[in-house]
Amino acid sequence: MRLNHLNLTVTDPIEAQKFLAKYFGMQPMGKPNARMTFLTDENGMVLSMAHMSLGEESEVKYPATFHIGFGQETEEQVNGIYQRLKADGFDVPEPSRQHGSWTFYFAAPGGFTIEVLC
């Protein structure tokens, strides 16, 4: 058995899709629209992102510990993503050693948290 898909509620599906494609290499699927977008990874897992209004929410609100993680093979790769995000103006904390990983967490466009780690 494998994870087939995950749906995130986001403030802007198109912005979130572009961000994940640019920084994490996810591949857009189908034609994006302001209500819902789809991406896939190299393992075939699908990430759908639905605009918060589809669920009639007025804001995106996840529990404090909720996040999606992008594992890297080396600390250098984690540092490289950190540097790209910083250079592009994102507010990201420097990577540090946490729970046995070289990692950082940050708020992504769309209203959810991402962890980058190795």
Asked if 1 and 51 sit in the same domain, the reply is yes
Distances (CA, A) of 11 to 15, 31, 64: 9, 18, 17
Task: Check: pTM over 0.85? Answer yes or no.
Answer: yes
In this structure, is residue 33 part of a structural domain? yes
pLDDT tens, residue by residue, 8-54: 999 999 999 999 999 999 999 999 899 999 999 999 999 999 998 87
3-state SS assignment for residue 22: helix
Distances (CA, A) of 75 to 4, 19, 100, 101: 28, 21, 12, 9
In this structure, is residue 61 part of a structural domain? no
| Residue 2, pLDDT score | 82
Q: What is the CATH number of the domain that holds 116?
A: 3.10.180.10
In this structure, is residue 60 part of a structural domain? no
In this structure, is residue 74 part of a structural domain? yes
Asked if 47 and 85 sit in the same domain, the reply is no
Report how far residue 98's alpha carbon sits from residue 21's, in angstroms, rounded to the nearest whole number.
26
Asked if 87 and 117 sit in the same domain, the reply is yes
Number of domains comprising the chain: 2
Domain hosting 12: range is: 1-55
**Look-up: residue for tokens 């819902």?**
36
pLDDT tens, residue by residue, 76-100: 999 999 999 999 999 999 999 999 9
Q: Note the Cα 64 to chain centre separation in Å.
A: 15
